[in-house]
Structure 1
Amino acid sequence: MASYMVMEPPEGGPEQAILVRDGFALLAFIMPFLWFLWHRMWLEALAALAAALLIAALGTLEGWSASATVASLCLSLFLALEARNLRVAMLTRRGWREWGVVDATTRDEAETRYMAGLLSDEPEARRETPLPALRETPGPARIASRASEPALGLFTYPGAR
């Protein structure tokens, strides 16, 4: 079952909401620059292009071609893993609000669950308050239990404090 982050526009109704699926973006792995342009993520596209050009320039130096190949693969893998989180961050910068997360097997089912959550009067359906803070515990258990920290430590998730 996949998770979908529901982002509501600054103006307009819930019918303009965008559902961003969490997970690996295959097209962002194959061609990240074009994936970012398709989603109108201009700054991210420029950063991806600059990083790719820098790695390509490194590959032209004698003895660095293997390192540049590995670095290019790592960059593509990183962008594919973080592309959807970067999209949510871009929408947040543009004033979109996070409604919540919907778990569903298909996008249509996620849209249906989102609309059902809007019509429901239950507070669990529309989470308006952040989740309670986790109890602080010492050592590695504390590090593993933090829900507000990103997986790779580079980008924060929307709503994380």
Structure 2
Amino acid sequence: MATFLVLIPPGALSGDEKARFVRDRFSWVAFFLPFLWLAWHRAWLAAALAFAVQMLGSAISDHPVFGLAGLGVCLATGLLVALEGPSMVVAGLERKGWTIDAVISAEDRATAEDIYDMETPAGETKARDGVSLPASGTATRPHAPMLGLVGFKEGR
């Protein structure tokens, strides 16, 4: 089962036809070509940063002593984008005013779209209160962890 985040444009109501489905999963294309994957998803700043880091890693890998370190930098960049790329896309859309309308677990996108359409029948479109994600700004904790790291200002 895959998890899909459903985002709606600014000012739209639940069940909007322009809703965007983002599959939250590991991407092999993003692992091997991180800057192209980010550019395809219009994350321009992240794409430029990934390109610069990969070029730095490539330049370091030509050095006889630090060759493996350069390869490690390139692989780490690819792994980070492959794992966190969908989150970067969602964050970019949220900065543009899109809101997360639903989180759906489904086998494929077509099934996720069917489930989303069944949740909000035609004619009964309404605004939802919002979806509370564990690391979102609506979390009850003041400093939610990021990228799987522990939040340190929460106390022990």
TM over 0.5: yes
Corresponding residue of 1:141: none
Compute the displacement of 1:127 (Å): 5.5
Name stretches of at least 5 consecutive residues in structure 1 with no aligned partner.
137-147, 155-161
Structure whose residues are more often helix by fraction:
1
1:152 is aligned to 2:154: no
TM-score w.r.t. length of structure 2? 0.77
> Percent of aligned pairs with the same residue?
34
1:115: how far off? 1.4
Q: Could you list the runs of 4 or more consecutive aligned residues of structure 1 that deviate by over 4 angstroms after TM superposition?
A: 131-134
Which of 75, 82, 85 aligns to 2:84? It is 82
Unaligned runs of 5+ in 2: 151-156
- Alignment-mate amino acid for residue 28 of structure 1: A
The RMSD of aligned alpha carbons is 2.7
Give the drift of 1:12.
5.2
109, 112, 115: which is aligned to 1:113? 115
Aligned pairs, number:
139
Is this contact kept in 1: 2:57–2:74, CA < 8 A?
A: yes
Aligned to 1:4: 4
Normalised by the length of structure 1, the TM-score is 0.75
**1:129: how far off?**
6.0
Question: What SS does the aligned partner of 1:7 have?
Answer: strand
Q: Distance in 2 between matches of 1:129 and 1:87?
A: 17
